[in-house]
Amino acid sequence: MRFSFKIRSAYTFFFLALFPATFSVQAQHKQKPVPVILDTDIGPDYDDVGAMAVLHALSDRGEARPLAVISCNKNELTVPTIDILNTYFGRLGLPSGVPKGKAADIGAPQKWPEMLVGKYPHKINKSSEAPDAVETYRKS
């Protein structure tokens, strides 16, 4: 009889120890989304496509709140590429910006932004049409 009491006590202790942890895990998922401004050099390579996909996935899960996507590369296809990806992920109004002064201007040797811009819808046709990156940061 004592043996079964110890086992029940152990189960009760185990249950009571885990019960608050369950609420703690659930509470973590109900936190406010983290505001994010993604700064990317999208263009020279396509790793930033993955970063944008992660940002949008976290937003879909309620864990992130995208404020803007900024390009630190002023190549004429960076902002149209960002616009295409934001459109694909259903965030057509997400602001973007690009440096207006001295900045990198690097295209992709694989020509993948040219393929995207030629094939998919976008509102911004070239990066020079986008707002200034610093102004976009300040507004976001």
Tell me the pLDDT tens digit for each residue of 90-113: 999 999 999 999 999 999 999 999
44-64 pLDDT, tens per residue? 888 999 999 999 999 999 999
What is the 8-class DSSP label of residue 32? P
In terms of Cα–Cα distance, which of 33, 50, 36 is closest to 95?
36
The tens digit of pLDDT for each residue in 14-46 reads 555 555 554 545 555 578 999 999 999 998 888
What local confidence, expressed as pLDDT, does residue 14 receive?
52
